Structure formats: C-alpha cells, structure tokens
C-alpha cells in the first residue's frame, strides 16, 4: 500500500464486518475516526516511537530516475547507444 504525507488511510474489509463496526460505534456515540485514533493511541502505549514517525515525506528528494523523467521534455530525443 502506498505511503505518503496525507492523513488518509484506505483499507478494505468484509462489508458485514464494516456494518457491524459502524452499528456498534453509532450505539456508543463515537465516530469511526475517533475510535480508530483511540485504538492507535492504545496500540502505541508503552511502545518505542517508530523510526518513520519523524519523516517528512515532502522533504525526501525523488530518486534520480524520477527527477530525470520529470525534467525531460516529452518530445526530447535521446542519443542511441549504437551511434548516430
């Protein structure tokens, strides 16, 4: 699953499980987001901080191959390795 700087998580679960979860959360008066954040907080209690928690993905430079592809005009011609 791709990772990026946004706060969005996308997961796929069984539709019946999703319905059960939403029903239970509505009965408890809590949103899925609030429940999830509470579960994550509990999960990380007494655990060391993950190494990636301080990474700002926006400051990591793109690999050289991506920079070249992004900086090269679409109509650019490349010299052949077999000569002119």
- Residue with the two structure tokens 């090269």: 72
CA of 9: how far to CAs of 5, 6, 30, 83, in Å? 11, 9, 18, 50
How is the chain split among helix, strand and coil, in percent rounded to 5? 50, 0, 50
Residue-wise pLDDT for 18-71, tens only, equals: 999 999 999 999 999 999 999 988 888 877 766 666 656 566 666 655 444 445
Domain range holding 29?
15-71
Residues 76, 78: Cα–Cα separation, whole Å: 7
- Is there a domain that residue 20 lies in? yes
pTM of the model: 0.52
- Is there a domain that residue 31 lies in? yes
**Burial classification of residue 35, based on how many CB atoms lie within 10 Å of its CB (0-12 exposed, 13-18 middle, 19 or more buried):** middle
- Is there a domain that residue 59 lies in? yes
Q: Give me the number of domains the chain comprises.
A: 1
* pLDDT score for 6: 83
* pLDDT score for 7: 85
């Amino acid at each position: 699953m791709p990772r990026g700087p946004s706060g969005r998580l996308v997961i796929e679960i069984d539709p019946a499980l999703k319905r059960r979860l939403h029903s239970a959360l509505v009965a408890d008066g809590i949103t899925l987001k609030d429940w999830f954040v509470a579960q994550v907080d509990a999960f990380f209690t007494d655990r060391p901080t993950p190494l990636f928690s301080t990474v700002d993905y926006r400051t990591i430079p793109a690999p050289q191959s991506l920079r070249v592809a992004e900086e090269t005009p679409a109509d650019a011609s490349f010299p052949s390795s077999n000569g002119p």
